[in-house]
Amino acid sequence: MKFTSLLAGAAMVLGLATGAVAQDKTKVGFVYVGPVGDGGWTYEHDKGRLAVEKEFGDKVETVFVESVPEGPDAERVMTQMALEGADLIFTTSFGYMDPTINVAKKFPNVKFEHATGYKTAPNVSVYSARFYEGRAVQGHIAGKMTESNIIGYIGSYPIPEVIRGINSAYIHAKKVNPDVEFKIIWAYTWFDPAKEADAATVLIEQGADVILQHTDSTAPQAAAQEAGNVITFGQASDMSEYAPKPRVSSIIDNWAPYYIARTQAVMDGSWETVNTWDGIKEGMVEIGEISDAVPADIKEEALAMTAAMAAGEYHPFTGPIKKQDGSDWLAEGETADDGTLAGMNFYVEGLEGEIPQ
Amino acid sequence: MIVLEKRPQPSKAWSYATPLVAVLATMVFGGILFAILGKNPIQAIGTIFWEPLFGEFAFYYRPQLLVKGAPLVLIAIGLSLGFRAGIWNIGAEGQYIMGAIFGAGAGLAFYPLDAFYVFPIMVIAGAFGGWLWAAIPAFLKVRFGTNEILVSLMLVYVAEQMLASVSLGLLKNPEGFGFPGSRNLQSYESAHNAELIAGSGMHWGVVTALIAVIFAYVLLNRHMLGFHIRLTGEAPRAAKFAGVNPARLILFCLGMSGALAGLAGMFEVAGPSGQVSIDFNVGYGFTAIIVAFLGRLHPVGILLAGGLMALTYIGGEIAQSQLGLPAAAIQVFQGMLLFFLLAFDLLTNYRIRAARNEVA
C-alpha cells in the first residue's frame, strides 16, 4: 500500500498521474460551496451523500469538505481528495466547473461529476435538475395568492439556471394573474444569510407579499415570518420548519438516487460520461408538501400541474411565448428545446428590468 | 490580587515571544475545541500542521503553501508600511480586485496575440489598478482630511460591484454560453502566470512577494523614507520636527500598499485562478491584515506569518476531509490565533505583578 502510493506520488511528480490506487472500498468525495447546515442546497447534497453511505454500507467511504470558495481553493480540495484515493468526486456548485476540468485532467482514473455546469470530459460528467418545473408550480401558487400583485425574487447570480427559474415562475404567475409584477434583487451569492435577509426585507418593504428565492439559506424565510402575511417557498430543501406559513410549499432537490446510481456505476466499472438533466418525472425535483395556508382549489391545480409534468404531458415553456423585447420565441404549442434552455440569457415578455450585464 | 503594570519600555523579548506563545496557546485551546467536537485533538492538530509539510502528499501541498501564502505576504508587506506610520489601509481586498480586473483586462485586450510583452503589460496594469484604488482614499485624506479607514473599506464594496459588472459584461467570455466570467487566462499562453518550474508552485507572484520582503526590509532599515515611516508611527511630533511631509507619506504608503495588493490580484487571476469571475476574491485582502500584525509589521515576520496562515488553511482542509472536522471549527481555530496574539501582546507593554494586599 505504502509502496503503491509512493509510486502514485512519483508518477504525479512526473506528470503521469495515475490517480487513485486500487483498494477494496470505493471512496466518494463531495465538495460543497456552503456549510452542510445551510438548510438548503448543500444540505440536500449532503443528504445524498448520507444516502450513498446507507445504501452501500461498508463498501463505500465518503468524505466531504464544506464552504469551499469557487476558484483555486476548490482545485486544491479536489486534488487533495483525488490524491487520498477518491474514486468518484462530486463537485456541487457551478463555479467549480473549470477547477473540476483542470483536476480531472491530472487524474484520468478518477471520475468527476460536476453539478449544474456544461463542460464534460472523458472522466467528467455533468448533472443538474430541471428546477424550472418546480418554479412553474411556485409561479402558479404565487400568482393566485398574491394580494399586492407584487412578487419579490431573490436571484443569486444572473446565470441561465437562475434566469430560467425567474422566467418559468413569471410565465405561470402571469397566466393566472395578469396584473402580477416581479421585483428582482441580485444578491451575488449562493449563501449569505445576512445579505439574503436584507434582500427579502427590501422586497417586502417594496410591497411584495410573496418571496421566491434562488439562494441557499433559510434567512429569507425568517425575514418573511417576521414581516407576517408574506408567503415563501422552500428552496432546494423542504425548509418545513417554516411551514405552514410563510413556507407554503417548496422545491426539493433529491440527489440521492443519482448519487447512488453513479457510485454503483463506478463500483461496476460501467461509469461513462453523461449529461444528466432530470426533473419531476425522474424524481430529481420534488414539490414539497403544499401547506394548509394555500386554499384547497389552488392546491389542487398545483398538484394537477405537477402530475402533468411528471407524466411528461406538460412543459413549462410551451408557446406562445415572446421574449422581453417583443420578438417571438415559441409559437403556439411549441416547447422550448434543451439547448436554448441551457443557455437562457433573456427574460420573457412582461418582466421588467434588465439582466445585469 | 494581580495587577498590570506598564513597562517603562516595551519588552523586546516579549515582542518576539508573543507570536510563538500565541501559536502554542492556539494549539492548546484549539485542541480542547476539537476534543469537545469528539475528535482526537493530537491527531487534528497534527493533521493541520504536519500533513501539509511532511505528510504522504506533501509533494503537492508544499507548492500549494506558496500559492496560498504569496498573495497574503505580498499584500501584508504593503499594508505594514502604512500601519507602521499609522496610516490604515483596510481596503486591500478592493485593491486586490481592481488589480485583477486591470491586469486581466489588459491581457484580454490583446487576445489572442502571442507576444512576450503581453504579460509585462498585465503586471503594470495590475499594479496600476491597485494603486489607483488606493490613491482615492489617499487623495481624499490629503485634500479633505477624510478618514482613510472608512473610505478604503467602503471602496471594497464598490470594487466587488465592479467585479460583478465586468464578469457579466465587459470581460465576459464570448464563448461562455452566456455564463458570467472571463476567458480562462490559463489557456492563453502569453497571459498565463504559469509555474516557473512545473509542480513547484513557484509563479511570478511568489517571486514578487519574496522581492517585496527584501525591498521592504531594506527600505525600513536603510532608507530615509523608511526612517520617516517608522518615526511618524512612533513619534509623530518628532517626525514633524524632522521635516517629514505627512501628505507625501500618506500618498506613498497607501499607493504602495495598493500597488502591491493590485499585483497580488493580477498574479492570482492570471495564474491559480485563471478567470475573472464574480466570486474571484476570497478575502486575501482582509486576511493579510491579520498576517501583517501576526508578523509584527516586520518584513521577515510577515513572511513567516504568511506561511503559517497558508498552513492553517491547507491543513484545515485536510483535517476536514480526513477527520470530518467542520469548516467552522477551522475558522474558529484561525480566529483564535489573532485573538491570542492580541491578548499576549499586552505583555509587551505591561507586566503582570502580584499586588500587595492593600485596602482599596
Beta-carbon contacts of A226 under 8 Å, excluding residues fewer than 6 positions away, are none
Please classify residue A15 by burial: count the beta carbons closer than 10 Å to its beta carbon, then call 0-12 exposed, 13-18 middle and 19+ buried: exposed
At residue A13, does pLDDT exceed 80?
no
pLDDT in tens, B23-81: 899 999 999 999 999 989 999 999 999 999 998 888 999 999 999 999 999 999 999 99
At residue A10, does pLDDT exceed 50?
no
pLDDT in tens, B72-126: 999 999 999 999 999 999 999 999 999 999 999 999 999 888 889 999 999 999 9
Sign of the Cα torsion A308, A311, A312, A313 reads negative
Cα gap A74→B264, rounded to integer Å: 19
pLDDT in tens, A228-282: 889 999 999 999 999 888 999 999 999 999 999 999 999 999 999 999 999 999 9
pLDDT in tens, B182-198: 898 888 888 888 888 88
At residue A7, does pLDDT exceed 60?
no
Place of cell 434562488: A214
Tell me what pLDDT residue B359 has.
54
Interface of B with A (CB under 8 A): 56-57, 59-61, 64, 67-68, 160, 164-165, 168-169, 177-180, 184, 186, 198-199, 268, 272-275, 277-280, 282, 313-314, 317-318, 320-322, 324, 326-328
Instruction: Read off the pLDDT of each residue in B214-243 and give the average, rounded to a whole number.
Output: 87
**Cβ–Cβ < 8 Å for A80, B321:** yes
Cα gap B195→B207, rounded to integer Å: 11
Q: What is the ipTM of this complex?
A: 0.81
Band (A356; pLDDT cuts 50, 70, 90): confident
**Cβ–Cβ < 8 Å for A207, A188:** no
Tell me what pLDDT residue B56 has.
86
pLDDT in tens, A125-163: 999 999 999 999 999 999 999 999 999 999 998 888 999
Which superfamily does A2-129 belong to? Response regulator (3.40.50.2300)
Cα gap A207→B340, rounded to integer Å: 48
Peptide bond into A356 cis (omega under 30): no
Tell me what pLDDT residue B190 has.
87
Beta-carbon separation of B320 and A64 below 8 A: yes
Beta-carbon separation of B321 and A64 below 8 A: yes
Tell me what pLDDT residue A9 has.
45
Band (A17; pLDDT cuts 50, 70, 90): very low
Q: What predicted TM-score, i.e. pTM, was given to this entire model?
A: 0.84
Beta-carbon contacts of B325 under 8 Å, excluding residues fewer than 6 positions away, are B34, B37, B39, B44, B316, B319
Band (B356; pLDDT cuts 50, 70, 90): low
Tell me what pLDDT residue A19 has.
42
Chain B hits for A215, Cβ within 8 Å: none
Sign of the Cα torsion A102, A106, A108, A113 reads negative
Band (B358; pLDDT cuts 50, 70, 90): low
Tell me what pLDDT residue A23 has.
54
Chain B hits for A35, Cβ within 8 Å: 326-328
Distance in Å, alpha carbon of B329 to nearest chain A alpha carbon: 11
Within chain A, all domains assigned CATH 3.40.50.2300 are found at 2-129, 131-251+285-342
Planar angle of CA B222, B223, B227, nearest 5 degrees: 100
Report helix, strand or coil for A333. Answer: coil
Place of cell 470505493: A26
**Cβ–Cβ < 8 Å for A211, A95:** no
Beta-carbon separation of A356 and B178 below 8 A: no
Residue B130 to residues A131, A290, B225: CA-CA distances in angstroms?
40, 52, 21
- CATH number (3.30.565.10, 3.20.20.140, 3.40.50.2300, 1.20.210.10) of A131-251+285-342 reads 3.40.50.2300
At residue B168, does pLDDT exceed 90?
no
Tell me what pLDDT residue A293 has.
92
Report helix, strand or coil for B153. Answer: helix
Cα gap B216→B214, rounded to integer Å: 5
Cα gap B352→B360, rounded to integer Å: 19
Sign of the Cα torsion A75, A78, A84, A87 reads negative
**Cβ–Cβ < 8 Å for A41, A251:** no
pLDDT in tens, B201-221: 889 999 999 999 999 999 988
Tell me chain B's radius of gyration from C-alpha atoms. Answer: 22
Strands A285-288 and A247-253, bridge-based pairing: antiparallel
Tell me what percent of the residues of chain B surpass a pLDDT of 90: 52
At residue A14, does pLDDT exceed 50?
no
At residue A310, does pLDDT exceed 70?
yes
Band (A8; pLDDT cuts 50, 70, 90): very low
Tell me what pLDDT residue B346 has.
81
pLDDT in tens, B249-298: 999 999 999 999 999 999 999 998 888 988 898 899 999 998 998 888 99
